[in-house]
Copies of this chain bind each other. A is one copy, B any other.
């Protein structure tokens, strides 16, 4: 399938406007803190949410609003997570009402999200004054502003877009996301909004998303903390004019491939910009007897604090990798594991058949000096493979999280 990268993020698909402005959730007036994404027409929607038992108030609202699998707009603030706030549900509902009123749509067609500190009182005022303003700012080029407005401790904007063909129709898909901390998605990650102009039923959209997250968002870990607000939502407005995808087949397969391309880009972006991260770490597990074992082993390695600090220290301490392989909660044997470290600096084999292998410390330094490192683990017992995405653990992670509330 011919996939091309495009500009304009969530506004790359036809008929999507976006905006992001400062409305006062943050003290810093230069920080945008309210984002809005709106489709010109009704969208089919699929969404996945956090598996944390503690849910944000917006989650409760969205679960109701998306019962019909349809929506037109996404409104999202940063700076307060609207979780465990005494008046949270009331405010999440009021936010949808205000957004619907300003856009002339129905309240149930609004998706609402919040990200920031948990358990702080939430105010309605920034929404009351901000929503009319953000609606006025909507443009077909507003993706980057919206992407900025959902950032918390992120240091880089996460935004991507592609074009591809289904039937004879040119289709698009775009996404913005926020990541950084409290990230160990157990279904979805943090917040990610994906737009597409593909015509697809909400049932098939949900099927595509449910399958995709198992190998994308669920395979990221920054710090092992599964947030209370994680949401991935896909909005498909159908304006590409392709024959509607309502069942399995070639078109659905292409759509899933497009979705994987976008989600992988976003996942790598989130992992690389993990709180305090200096390196993107990918753990690629091959030779597993089944897909689930491959996923569990790769995620176990990515989550290990000892592996993460070793990568920060640019230390080829592969024993920690094998240790994390060994405590992964899956069935497999560990007698024949090969481990290598790879980057633009070269490839270094450090362990063969679960036993130490002499290696060149100079090459190790060169490989680990890069800012994107691959940890290659071959279990040598089958054909299944999986990748997990993470980052190193640095002084900055401790600094950022030691003083987040203040």
Contact = CB atoms under 8 A, between A and B. Distances in A.
Contacts of A325: 53-54
Contacts of A121: 356
Contacts of A349: none
A323 B118 contact: yes
A394 to B, nearest CB: 6
A179 interface: no
A398 interface: yes
B84 A355 contact: yes
Given A223-B305, A393-B401, 9 more contacts: A53-B326, A53-B333, A54-B325, A84-B356, A85-B355, A306-B401, A312-B402, A317-B405, A398-B398
Interface in A258-297: none
Interface stretch (A68-76, A126-134, A202-210, A224-232): A224-232
A380 interface: no
Interface residues of A, number: 66
SS class, residues of chain A in contact with chain B = loop
Contact of A313 (B224, B309, B313, B402): B402
Contacts of A305: 223-225, 305, 397, 401
A178 to B, nearest CB: 16
Interface string A308-332: 0110110111111011111110001
A315 B405 contact: yes
A144 B348 CA distance: 42
A119 interface: yes
Interface string A332-376: 111000000000000000010011100000000000000000000
Q: How many copies does the complex hold?
A: 2
Contact of A322 (B119, B306, B317, B354): B119
Contacts of A334: 53-54
Contact of A319 (B83, B303, B332, B356): B83
Interface string A68-105: 00000000000001011110000000000000000000
Interface of A: 51-55, 81, 83-86, 117-121, 181-182, 184, 186, 223-228, 303-306, 309-310, 312-313, 315-320, 322-328, 332-334, 351, 354-356, 393-395, 397-406
13 contacts: A53-B327, A53-B334, A54-B322, A83-B319, A118-B319, A119-B351, A224-B304, A225-B320, A310-B404, A313-B403, A317-B405, A395-B399, A398-B398
A164 to B, nearest CB: 36
A315 B402 contact: yes
Contact of A306 (B182, B304, B356): B182
Contacts of A223: 305-306
10 pairs of A and B residues whose beta carbons are closest in the complex:
A118-B319, A313-B402, A54-B326, A309-B401, A119-B319, A226-B327, A52-B326, A53-B326, A223-B305, A119-B356
